[in-house]
Amino acid sequence: MTKETTTGNRYKVLIDDNFHYMDEEHRYEHGAFGTADEAVAACKQIVDGCLTHMLKPGMTANALYEQWVMFGEDPYVMPVDRTDARVVFSAWEYAKEQCEVLELAPPIAP
């Protein structure tokens, strides 16, 4: 039994770096969570933070998404116990949806 399992954390959020696509040396663990919903919420927060940081005034959703695909963080959820069900979350799909939302949002005042 792993430490995460004994403390109730059943899901880990791992992050790949899109700039280093498929390079496991650039993968790191963000944290461990008790539920799949908490882990997915953490993934969404990571993507939202990246997109907000990359967003420039007047940027289109497509341009923002291209920026994220090239340089963003790609979080995903892994169960600590490999026999647990896989958590379905795609940072790529979520980022695409959020780019549309951010394009339509009013600019943030400094």
DSSP state string for the chain: --HHHHTT--EEEEEEEGGGTT-GGG-EEEEEESSHHHHHHHHHHHHHHHHHHH--TT--HHHHHHHHHHH-EEEEEEESSTTSPPP---HHHHHHHHHHHHHHSPPPP-
Asked whether residue 109 is assigned to any structural domain, the reply reads no
Does residue 45 lie within any of the structural domains?
yes
- With respect to residue 7, please indicate whether it lies within any of the assigned structural domains: yes
* pLDDT given for residue 6 in this prediction: 43
For residue 110, tell me if it sits in a domain. Answer: no
**How confident is the prediction along the chain (110 residues), in pLDDT tens digits per residue?**
344 444 678 999 999 987 766 666 767 688 899 999 999 999 999 999 999 999 998 899 999 999 999 999 999 999 988 877 788 899 999 999 999 998 877 555 55
Tell me which residue range forms the domain holding 12.
3-104
How many domains does the chain divide into?
A: 1
